[in-house]
Amino acid sequence: MTSLDTRPALVHAPSATDGEWWRHAVIYQVYPRSFADGSGDGIGDLPGITSRLPHLAELGVDAVWLSPFYRSPQADAGYDVADYRAVDPLFGTLDDFDALLLRAHDLGLRVIVDLVPNHTSDEHVWFEAAMAAGPGSAERERYLFREGRGPAGELPPNNWQSIFGGPAWTRVADGQWYLHLFDSRQPDLNWEHPEVRSEFEDVLRFWLDRGVDGFRIDVAHGMVKEPGLPDWDGHVSMIEGSDDAASPEDAVSGAGNQGPMFDQDGVHEIYRAWNRVLAQYAGDRALVAEAWVEPLSRLARYVRPDEMQQAFNFAFLATLWDAPALRSVIEASYVTADSVGAPTTWVLSNHDVVRHASRLGLAEAGSRPNGIGHGDEQPDEELGLRRARAATLLMLGLPGSAYLYQGEELGLPDHTALPDQLRQDPAFFRTGGAERGRDGCRVPLPWAADEAGFGFSPTGVTWLPQPASWAAYALDAQRGVAGSTYETYRGALALRRAEHLGTGGLTWDNAFGDEVIAFENRDVLVVANLGADPVELPVGLTVLASSGDLPDATTLPGDTTIWARRA
């Protein structure tokens, strides 16, 4: 970790122009089943999203990323796709999608959709054909079917474990086994197969032709496996929901430890081909990698000029609430992204991790438990929210592109006491409940404090129950209320845009001590006090934004961030 005294001040130089939208965009993740329900069945849908798009325009984000809404048996909440070109009836129709896209574009919002190329659903026609055709058939070649080990092939072909728990192989009736890095209902595709490659290029074109602005690529580091699928005794780190986060040192400079199923060099050829597909379309379309790889220099390889445009910076999300560690990750993020001319990205919450308002209220602030339930340590809700707001204001002050997860603009915590019998995440079932899973961060949003289901659905039905405490977080309880989390986000997003902070630079200001992260981005000074004690601010600052109340003009309380201009 770099110490305060030896650190060079200028880490990242500002750009003269804003450049392509994805270099600086704030992108809001919509998790369709939990955003807004138009039909009244308790599950969010595309018409529900369209009806609430004005909220996102008012909030001031630049783009929306939609998690999967494709035809799917929902074994992994839509990340098990049965038809990549169809909308699941649960969420609406293709016409509903077109209407959503049109409305978003009218409101000045770009739209990114999710692409899930590592695996299909077991209900995809290819997998059904593979099951019907049997061993040795061409149909099986599109997936990773193998004979088992042991005298009667009764042992899996290798020792890989599923990321959701249990073996990564399932045996079928004829004795063969197929690989699934996730649930058994998500068979991995064979990316050495030319038909798999051409099919996904075609799927990209299908959505590009409809007008989408880009794709978030699921498990972007997983499609190509080491030839021979060798045994591996390591365990997968930097995965969704894991508390096995890399240390900041590993994220910054570690040797990488992803094993033979992840981050293989061959994956980059796929992204170069996709880059060429996108280049045939006008309008700066973008690819963003969901790649849990370390160190950051490996991640930078996904965003070389002829590959993807962005990669999620999970090293930032995985870092504890600790100023030296965060400074180190922030600095390394710029150094590595700048080395390939890509924008840095920032993210604190998504549908796979405990929301940052809850993680930051844990005794080990910022740690990542695999979900939180009854009997587990319960976060300090007030402290978690205070820190979450400070973390967000720090993040939005950083140049680059930032991702927000639906509901964080309301300060939502996870549902940390969901009854186990209501849980749906396959990770909960495949680990026998040892992992609580990700349902706690996927609870339907509260829009109206006094309505049934907090206004999520016209019938009041919600597919997961909302905590009663969420009345205070509802949008209508915060809109227009000065100092509310919603208005703090809105104000910060407006300032970020007006001051061009997304394409600004980062120059450390070392005057505040080790517990404080302070830097200048253009002429905005960002000061985040991660310690518990107040720190003194220079005289004459004009405070532009603050994550919490300030007692006076020269004191910055603990767990608080400000944006300010010097006299």
DSSP 366: T
With CB atoms as reference, the residue minimizing the distance to ligand NOJ is 79
> Residue 474 interacts with ligand NOJ (CB under 6 A)?
no
Q: Are 207 and 94 in contact (CB under 8 A)?
A: no
User: Closest separation between CB of residue 70 and ligand NOJ, Å?
Assistant: 12
- Which amino acid belongs to residue 98? D
Give the residue with the Cβ less far from ligand NOJ, 235 or 374: 235
Active-site annotation holds for 290? yes
> Residue 116 interacts with ligand NOJ (CB under 6 A)?
yes
Spatial neighbors of 481 by CB under 8 A, at least 6 apart, are 487
Q: CA 89 to CA 74: how far, in whole Å?
A: 12
Catalytic residue, candidates 218, 322, 520, 559: 218
From first CA to last CA, the distance across the chain in angstroms is 32
User: Closest separation between CB of residue 240 and ligand NOJ, Å?
Assistant: 5
Give the residue with the Cβ less far from ligand NOJ, 342 or 347: 347
Please, what is the angle between helix 381-397 and helix 485-498, to 10°? 10
C-alpha 280, offset from chain centre: 27
Number of residues that bind ligand NOJ (CB under 6 A): 10
Backbone angles phi, psi at 469, to 5 degrees: -65, -10
> Residue 218 interacts with ligand NOJ (CB under 6 A)?
yes
> Residue 352 interacts with ligand NOJ (CB under 6 A)?
yes
Contact with ligand NOJ (CB under 6 A): which of 37, 139, 213, 240? Answer: 240
Contact mark string toward ligand NOJ, 58..97, x via CB under 6 A:
------------------x--x------------------
Give the residue with the Cβ less far from ligand NOJ, 289 or 535: 289
C-alpha 176, offset from chain centre: 35
Contact with ligand NOJ (CB under 6 A): which of 75, 219, 291, 398? Answer: 219
Give the residue with the Cβ less far from ligand NOJ, 402 or 427: 427
Catalytic residue, candidates 290, 307, 439, 559: 290
Q: CA 512 to CA 257: how far, in whole Å?
A: 36
Q: CA 1 to CA 544: how far, in whole Å?
A: 31
> Residue 28 interacts with ligand NOJ (CB under 6 A)?
no
Q: CA 152 to CA 175: how far, in whole Å?
A: 9
Using CB under 6 A as the binding rule, the residues of this chain from 138 to 197 that contact ligand NOJ are: 182
Q: Are 447 and 469 in contact (CB under 8 A)?
A: no
User: Closest separation between CB of residue 182 and ligand NOJ, Å?
Assistant: 5
Residue 84 in tokens? 């990549």
User: Closest separation between CB of residue 529 and ligand NOJ, Å?
Assistant: 32
Q: CA 480 to CA 62: how far, in whole Å?
A: 21
Contact mark string toward ligand NOJ, 262..301, x via CB under 6 A:
----------------------------x-----------
Active-site annotation holds for 377? no
Q: Are 346 and 402 in contact (CB under 8 A)?
A: yes
Spatial neighbors of 276 by CB under 8 A, at least 6 apart, are none
Binding residues for ligand NOJ (CB under 6 A)? 76, 79, 116, 182, 218-219, 240, 290, 351-352
Catalytic positions are 218, 290
